[in-house]
Amino acid sequence: MRLNGKVALITGAGGGIGGECALLFAAEGAKVVVSDVNEAAGRDVVERITKAGGKAVFVRSDVSKDADCAAMVRLAETSFGKLDVLMNNAGIMDSDDDGAVTTSEAVWERTMAINLKGVFLGCKHAIPALLRAGGGSIINVASFVASLGAATPQLAYTASKGGVLSMTRELAVIHARQGIRVNSLSPGPLRTELLMKFLNTDAKKQRRLVHIPMGRFGEAKEMAKAALFLASDDSSYMTGSNLLVDGGITAAYVTPE
* Residues annotated catalytic, as ranges: 157
Query: 138 forms bridges with which residues in the sheet?
Result: 86, 182
Sheet holding 31-36, edge to edge: 56-60, 31-36, 7-11, 85-88, 136-141, 180-187, 242-245
- Other beta carbons within 10 Å of 34: 32
Residue 30 to residue 47: CA distance in whole angstroms? 15
The dihedral region occupied by 244, where left means phi > 0, alpha psi between -120 and 50, and beta the remainder, is beta
What residues have CB less than 8 Å from 60, skipping those under 6 apart?
35, 36, 37, 39, 42, 68
Question: How is 131-154 classified by DSSP, letter by letter?
Answer: HHTT-EEEEEE--GGGTS--SS--
